Amino acid sequence: MVEEPNLSLLDRETAAEEVKEHFSESLDLLSELVNYGTNLIPRLLATVEPSLVREMAVGSLLSHAVQNLDAVDQLARGGCCISASVQARTILEASLSLEWMLIDEQQTRARAYYIANLRSELLWLNRYVPGTDQHRMMTREWKRNFPKTDPTSDPDMVAAARERIPLIVEKLESPELAELNGRFQRISDKRGFEPSWQKVLEMSARAIANQLSRLAEYEVFYRLGSSASHAASYWTRFQARDGRMLLHPIRGIDSLSTLLNQIVPLAHHTYLSALRYFRPEEVGNFCRKYIEEWRKRALTIPKIDVAVSVKTNPYRP
């Protein structure tokens, strides 16, 4: 027997219909912003001289932003608005990192980001190689929960790891990266786990937001996304009223206005950061495009109030 959803909690069709009824124009704008990003990335990669800054800023951070912008578009169309706030948080983090990387000390910041990725890859690869501390820890902890399986027993993965590890070590020990990698190692040895690339440069996501005069975005939208990501807020799932629990539907449009009012200017700001550094001659055209094609819809995102009714909600312990 195929299990059917409890429509009081999950009504996929109604949620999608409500989104389409009230937010069709706004989501078309979001799709256009995604499309613009998918054209901006290859244009920058094709017209800007190859460099580590270009690869980390465009190939990684800008690509992360566009990827998650597309995810927000798709989740929002289905009414998965709280879930989309997790992707919105990722976009904000990518946007802050991108802007901060490009405003000053570009080489150092790009190298720190690159080293963090190399060290993360190295950590995972060592988990496949018998005899390493990482392999012993991985197999010990894995077998506590999954005693009949061993994810590190694939001989092809072991061989690939052994081949890749020396290449990463060679890069980390290169003259360009060795000093900064040493900072990573000292912090890792002291704390017992890998630091973030911002930490090695004595920064944090909040400090970066403050330096960029974007602290309001961080305090509101980053924290909202973090709460959803870490299941840290009960109020997104239920209300307590008159001694009763009122569960919120899994999908709905109640937070979509807030989400779109965050995402649209965030996408605009992210693209502008990339253009100012890599293609300053395009900034004027981009601003005109915003004014002529996007601004009206960006400023007229609907606000819909959705009430939770004690009478209609069946979950009242």
Domain boundaries, the chain: 12-298
Q: What is the pLDDT of residue 310?
A: 41
- Look-up: residue for tokens 């080489």? 107
Cα–Cα distance measured from residue 70 to residue 36, given in angstroms and rounded to the nearest whole number: 11
Choice among 59-68, 229-238, 301-310 with the minimum mean pLDDT = 301-310
- In angstroms, the CA 24 to CA 7 distance is 23
- pTM for the whole structure: 0.90
**How would residue 47 be classed by pLDDT, with cut points 50, 70 and 90?**
very high
Q: Which residue has the higher pLDDT, 247 or 152?
A: 247
Residue 317's pLDDT is 35
Binning pLDDT at 50, 70 and 90, where does residue 315 land?
very low
258/36: higher pLDDT: 36
Residue 115 to residues 118, 146, 189, 196, 238, Cα–Cα distance (Å): 5, 32, 16, 10, 42
Residue 306: pLDDT band by 50, 70, 90 thresholds?
A: low
Query: How is the chain classified by DSSP, letter by letter?
Result: -PPPP-TTT--HHHHHHHHHHHHHHHHHHHHHHHHHHHHHHHHHHHHSPP-HHHIIIIIIIIHHHHHHHHHHHHHHHTTBHHHHHHHHHHHHHHHHHHHHHHHS-HHHHHHHHHHHHHHHHHHHHHTTSTTSHHHHHHHHHHHHH-TT--TT--HHHHHHHHHHHHHHHHHHTSTTTHHHHHHHHHHHHHHSSPPPHHHHTT--HHHHHHHTT-HHHIIIIIHHHHHHHTT--GGGTEEEETTEEEEPPSSBSTTHHHHHHHHHHHHHHHHHHHHHHH-GGGHHHHHHHIIIIIHHHHT-------PPPTTT-----
Percent of the chain with pLDDT over 90: 68
pLDDT tens for each residue of 249-263: 889 888 899 999 999
Residue 264 has what pLDDT? 96
Q: For residue range 57-103, what is the model confidence (pLDDT) as tens digits? A: 999 999 999 999 999 999 999 999 989 999 999 999 999 999 999 99
Lowest mean pLDDT: which of 6-15, 25-34, 244-253, 303-312? 303-312
pLDDT, tens digit (0-9, with 9 covering 90-100), for 274-284:
999 999 999 99
Query: Using CA atoms, how far apart are residues 65 and 300, in angstroms rounded to an integer?
Result: 23
How high is the pLDDT of residue 307? 54
- pLDDT for 314 beyond 50: no
The one-letter code for the residue type at 223 is: R
Rounded Cα gap, residues 30 and 38, in angstroms: 13
Residue 272 in this model has a pLDDT that exceeds 80: yes
Share of the chain above pLDDT 70, in %: 96
Give me the pLDDT at residue 157, please: 87
Q: Are 81 and 259 in contact (CB under 8 A)?
A: yes
pLDDT tops 50 at residue 163:
yes
